[in-house]
């Protein structure tokens, strides 16, 4: 029998051992998370350190001079904006509508299973294969030539599986009870999707868009084969230097060119170009993430 003055709520050796194990696991997982972030911080810090002598607003707004050994990156910056947002304008509507069909309408049959398999396989195709496809399909077969249109459509095809997959996940995360409540009051399937499912899934859909922007801005091979050019003369600060049928400069292609093809270039210029590319992607991603957080905060579940 337990003595009257004994504390029956005191920790036993077993409980103390479990607490130590839990604390150890917590710190191990914390260290693993830090190790994941540390390389990114080191890379960004290294880029800024090497790029600092050339970083300025003038570097962004100036055009390349002296055979791209001096000056800035304005033509490449504007060209990247053209390519990213045109590819997004093509891939986002198609990807979202395809995901809506696959998740909300498609039945479990051999055709839809084949479509799902094709989407998964398309996501794993190397970018150089997409580049060759864009060269054959858009440059030669569709006769768009080497142009912004060809490069943007190639990027859109390349990023389409990411948007489809992320949109399907977002749609699937909406509780089925939401759909059933709408059907019970007489709403059609499309009314339910438009008024209930898509508004509640929009924050997850934006995740696919964020990934699309990051990948499209950083790809070199697809645009090298279809629409990017070594150099294009434009005016300083011109916001519309290209037409859709022109070739354009792009930051990823420009960085590759500076690093491999231009001799005697100032050492800080390629690093500054990389910082501009990274900063552009992070800025667009930050805006999309802020919008996603705002939309997610409005959810009622």
Q: Supply the DSSP string of 11-78, one letter for each residue.
A: PPHHHHHHHHHHHHHHHHHHHHHHHHHHHHHHHHHHHHHHHTTT-SHHHHHSPEETTTTEE--HHHHH
Instruction: Tell me, rounded to whole angstroms, the distance of Cα 293 from its chain centroid.
Output: 17
Q: Is the dihedral of CA 44, 46, 51, 57 positive or negative?
A: positive
The percent of residues above 70 in pLDDT, for the chain, comes to: 96
> Which pLDDT tens digit goes with each residue over 244-297?
899 999 998 888 888 888 888 888 899 999 999 988 888 888 887 787 777 777
pLDDT band at 131 (very low <50, low <70, confident <90, very high): very high
Structure tokens at 81: 């904006």
pLDDT band at 86 (very low <50, low <70, confident <90, very high): very high
What are the structural domain ranges in the chain? 58-297
φ, ψ dihedrals at 70, nearest 5°: -150, -175
Quote the pTM value. Answer: 0.84
Question: So what CATH class is 58-297?
Answer: mainly alpha
Average pLDDT for residues 143-155, to the nearest whole number?
A: 93
pLDDT band at 147 (very low <50, low <70, confident <90, very high): very high
In whole angstroms, give the CA distance from residue 221 to residue 201. Answer: 33
């Amino acid at each position: 029998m337990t003595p009257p003055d004994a504390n029956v709520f005191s920790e036993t050796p077993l409980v103390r051992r479990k607490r130590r194990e839990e604390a150890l696991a917590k710190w191990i997982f914390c260290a693993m998370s830090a190790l994941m972030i540390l390389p990114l911080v080191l890379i960004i810090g290294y880029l800024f350190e090497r790029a600092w002598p050339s970083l300025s607003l003038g570097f962004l707004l100036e055009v390349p001079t002296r055979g791209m050994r001096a000056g800035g990156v304005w033509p490449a910056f504007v060209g990247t904006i053209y390519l990213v947002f045109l590819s997004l304008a093509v891939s986002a509507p198609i990807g979202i509508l395809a995901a809506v069909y696959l998740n909300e309408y498609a039945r479990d049959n051999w055709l839809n299973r084949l479509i799902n398999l094709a989407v998964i396989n398309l996501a794993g195709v190397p970018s150089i294969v997409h580049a060759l496809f864009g060269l054959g399909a858009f440059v030669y077969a569709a006769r768009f030539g080497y142009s912004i249109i060809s490069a943007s459509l190639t990027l859109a095809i390349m990023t389409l599986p990411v948007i489809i997959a992320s949109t399907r996940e977002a749609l699937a995360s909406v509780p089925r009870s939401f759909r059933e409540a709408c059907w019970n009051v007489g709403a059609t399937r499309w009314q339910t999707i438009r008024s209930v499912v898509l508004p509640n899934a929009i924050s997850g859909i934006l995740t696919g868009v964020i990934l699309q922007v990051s990948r499209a801005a950083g790809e070199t091979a697809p645009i090298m084969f279809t629409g990017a050019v070594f150099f294009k003369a434009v005016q300083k600060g011109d916001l519309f230097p290209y037409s859709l049928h022109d070739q354009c400069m792009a930051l990823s292609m420009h960085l590759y060119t500076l690093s491999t093809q231009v001799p005697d270039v100032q050492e800080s210029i390629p690093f500054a170009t990389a910082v501009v590319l990274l900063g552009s992607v992070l800025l667009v991603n930050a805006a999309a993430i802020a919008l996603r957080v705002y939309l997610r905060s409005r959810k009622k579940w």
